[in-house]
Amino acid sequence: MAIADLITEQRNPASMHIDTMTTPEIAALINHEDAKIAPAIAKEEAHIAAAIDEASQRYNRGGRLIYAGAGTSGRLGVLDAAELVPTYGIPPERAVGLIAGGMSAMFKSVEGAEDSAELAEHDLKHLNLNANDTVIGIAASGRTPYAVGALTYAQQIKALAVSVTCVADSELAAHANIAIAPVVGPEVITGSTRMKAGTAQKMVLNMLSTGVMIRAGKVFSNLMIDVQPTNAKLVDRAERIIVETTGVTKPQAASLLKAAAHKVPVAIVMAKTGMDVAAATQVLAAHDGVVSAVLTAWEAEHGR
């Protein structure tokens, strides 16, 4: 499909006269258009869930989340990857953002980089892509060569290839194992896909990566339990998480955290089951680090 025919490039009838609107009218119009994003994503929930399940299986075998895109799409991928590290305490090499043109393209356009499928393959080869990895190709138009090249190479290596676009039946989707395509319609400013399309892509990436982190045991109830207690503030937070999830006292939580080598999930399992640190560590490993799965199995075995 020609670029001019893409829905992301069409003119929005509602904003034809936005340049003559009052400022409150401009704000209201943009907000009204943004309200179309969540319903568009809702139509893709089954595909997002499938991507979470497939990516989680690979991630729990030691694979990585690798994002690939150009321009705004690439920046959103880099952002999602970068934020997983402090939020969930994962090593930075487990979530990698690739943007066409390299990190300098985060701040300044690198002309021509997005048009190179070969550059994406080169970048993924540099990472030693393997079959346990998940590559998420991001492109609002669904046709960016860098993103297409990334998914093409991912499929050659048998990595999971996921596309995130804002057009239906895109070229990028044709190279994906799982295609996610919230169609949010023409932008308020024609072709400015940093707006609705960019917001939709960020929401999808948030859902996908958060789901993978939940399945990797980084969340218990709705708490981030893999916090790395590297300073006094974070130690206090870790202790409070243990108190809140187990009902022990603050001093008991401090003792458990110390015994667990400052690993909050291990401390929670110890508090809930009475296991020692070795047993708690072993049973967590057997359940992919998921505390709720450990407790469900323990309660079933002990008749709780």
CATH of the domain at 249: 1.10.8.1080
Q: Are residues 12 and 150 in the same domain?
A: yes
What is the total residue count of the chain?
304
**Options 114, 121, 171, 187, the catalytic residue:** 114
Contacts of 203 (CB under 8 A, 6+ apart): 37, 38, 41
Model confidence band, residue 142 (pLDDT cutoffs 50, 70, 90): very high
Q: Are residues 224 and 194 in the same domain?
A: no
CATH of the domain at 185: 3.40.50.10490
**Options 9, 25, 44, 83, the catalytic residue:** 83
pLDDT at 112: 63
pLDDT at 111: 61
Q: Are residues 207 and 225 in the same domain?
A: no
Q: Which of 29-33, 111-115, 230-234 has the lowest mean pLDDT?
A: 111-115
Residue 237's domain comprises: 219-302
Model confidence band, residue 301 (pLDDT cutoffs 50, 70, 90): confident
Q: Which has more confidence, 137 or 1? A: 137
pLDDT at 204: 98
CB-hemisphere CA count at 13 Å for 292? 11
Q: What is the largest CA-CA distance in the chain?
A: 70
pLDDT at 255: 96
Q: Are residues 56 and 197 in the same domain?
A: yes
- Total domains, the chain: 2
Q: Are residues 187 and 279 in the same domain?
A: no
What pLDDT digit, counting tens, does each position of 14-50 carry?
999 999 999 999 999 999 999 999 999 999 999 999 9
Q: What is the dihedral of CA 132, 151, 77, 134, to 10 degrees?
A: -10
Q: Which helix (H) or strand (E) holds 237?
A: helix 232-246
Domain boundary among 191, 215, 239: 215
Whether 111 is a known active-site residue: answer: no
What pLDDT digit, counting tens, does each position of 176-219 carry?
999 999 999 999 999 999 999 999 999 999 999 999 999 999 99
Domain boundary among 215, 231, 252: 215
Q: Are residues 178 and 248 in the same domain?
A: no
The rounded distance, in Å, linking the Cα atoms of 196 and 204 is 12
Judged against a pLDDT cut of 70, whether residue 114 lies above it is answered with no
Q: Are residues 70 and 183 in the same domain?
A: yes
Q: Are residues 13 and 41 in the same domain?
A: yes
Q: Which of 35-49, 59-73, 92-106, 192-206 has the lowest mean pLDDT?
A: 92-106
What tokens does 268 get? 């929670």
Q: Are residues 64 and 30 in the same domain?
A: yes
Domain boundary among 196, 215, 234: 215
pLDDT at 116: 83
Q: Are residues 208 and 232 in the same domain?
A: no
Q: Are residues 95 and 235 in the same domain?
A: no
Q: Are residues 160 and 275 in the same domain?
A: no
- Mean of the per-residue pLDDT values of the chain: 94
